[in-house]
């Protein structure tokens, strides 16, 4: 993906930094041939195709319909900043960014809407069960408390951990134990989120979309800039 992004940047640079259009058709043809030659060389060296470059350029500015109403959210539904996170509970990088997301939503409850989408990676075999436990907490109205509480335990996603976090945030434990099972209904929700993620270009976790646009460099600098710009 990073290679394709680099190719996209190179392509855009070649276009935007091109010299003024030459007067003769011969000179124009020569310039076009030069640009194609450079692109062909880079494509050959980095293993991408013209079609991949084209898709990446289009997706960089595309606003996706991420169906935020289908998933757990926290904040203002009418906020000018909508952050959709494709994530999972076994990913260390997802766990690492959790404190920032928690503080962001608490500091800006009226300015930001955060939405959670499940995207368990195939080699994180405990992530689906953790997602089911979070859904069980959601049934008791405490998805986000559970999401924040479970994040530090990404290396120990077992039933005893799920129950310990449930106790920590004050859930009805007997009800939670019944609801935490990864049944067909919960798996269908996970699969739905995965399909959506694949459709919009998610390839790893965490992956963030801000106001429908994919963000390769999501972080405090981006959000602080948007807060200043939109509010």
Q: Is the pLDDT of residue 23 over 70?
A: no
Q: Select, from the ranges 14-18, 57-61, 193-197, the one with the highest average predicted confidence (pLDDT).
A: 193-197
Mean pLDDT in residue range 45-49? 65
pLDDT tens for 59-89 read: 667 999 999 999 999 999 999 999 999 999 9
pLDDT tens for 103-125 read: 999 999 999 999 999 999 999 99
Domain 68-230 has CATH 3.30.9.30: no
Q: Is the pLDDT of residue 159 over 50?
A: yes
Weakest mean pLDDT among 16-25, 30-39, 74-83, 114-123: 16-25
22: DSSP letter: P
Q: Is the pLDDT of residue 17 over 50?
A: no
Bridge partners, 86 (sequence order): 117, 207
Distance, in Å, from the CA atom of 171 to the CA atom of 212, rounded to the nearest integer, reads: 33
Q: Is the pLDDT of residue 152 over 70?
A: yes
Question: Euclidean distance between the first and final Cα of the chain, in Å?
Answer: 33
E strand intervals along 93-211: 112-118, 207-210
38: DSSP letter: H
Is the pTM higher than 0.85? The answer reads: no
pLDDT band at 206 (very low <50, low <70, confident <90, very high): very high
Write out the two tokens for 9: 């940047």
Angle at 148 (CA atoms; ends 143, 153), nearest 5 degrees = 115
The overall longest dimension of the chain from CA atoms, in Å, is 80
Write out the two tokens for 211: 């106001």
Evaluate whether 165 touches 150 at the Cβ level (below 8 Å): yes
Q: Is the pLDDT of residue 139 over 50?
A: yes
| Percent of the chain whose pLDDT exceeds 90 | 72
Write out the two tokens for 162: 């799920």
Distance, in Å, from the CA atom of 231 to the CA atom of 220, rounded to the nearest integer, reads: 16
Give the domain ranges of the chain.
2-60, 68-230
Handedness of CA 100, 106, 108, 112 (dihedral sign): positive
């Amino acid at each position: 993906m990073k290679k394709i992004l680099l190719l996209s940047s190179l392509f855009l640079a070649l276009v935007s930094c091109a010299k003024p259009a030459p007067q003769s058709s011969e000179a124009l043809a020569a310039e076009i041939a030069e640009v194609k030659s450079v692109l062909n060389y880079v494509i050959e060296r980095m293993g991408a195709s013209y079609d991949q470059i084209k898709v990446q350029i289009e997706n960089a500015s595309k606003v996706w319909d991420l169906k935020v109403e289908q998933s757990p959210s926290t904040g203002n539904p009418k906020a000018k900043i909508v952050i959709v996170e494709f994530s999972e509970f076994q990913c260390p990088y997802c766990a690492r960014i959790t404190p920032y997301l928690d503080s962001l939503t608490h500091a800006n409850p009226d300015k930001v809407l955060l939405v959670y989408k499940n995207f368990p990676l195939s080699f994180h075999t405990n992530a689906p069960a953790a997602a089911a436990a979070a859904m069980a907490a959601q049934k008791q109205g405490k998805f986000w408390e559970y999401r924040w509480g479970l994040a530090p335990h990404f290396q120990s996603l077992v039933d005893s951990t799920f129950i310990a976090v449930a106790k920590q945030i004050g859930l009805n434990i007997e009800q939670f134990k019944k609801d935490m099972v990864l049944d067909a209904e919960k798996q269908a929700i996970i699969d739905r989120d995965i399909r959506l993620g694949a459709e919009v270009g998610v390839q790893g976790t965490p992956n963030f979309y801000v106001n429908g646009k994919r963000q390769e460099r999501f972080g405090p600098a981006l959000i602080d800039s948007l807060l200043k710009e939109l509010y």
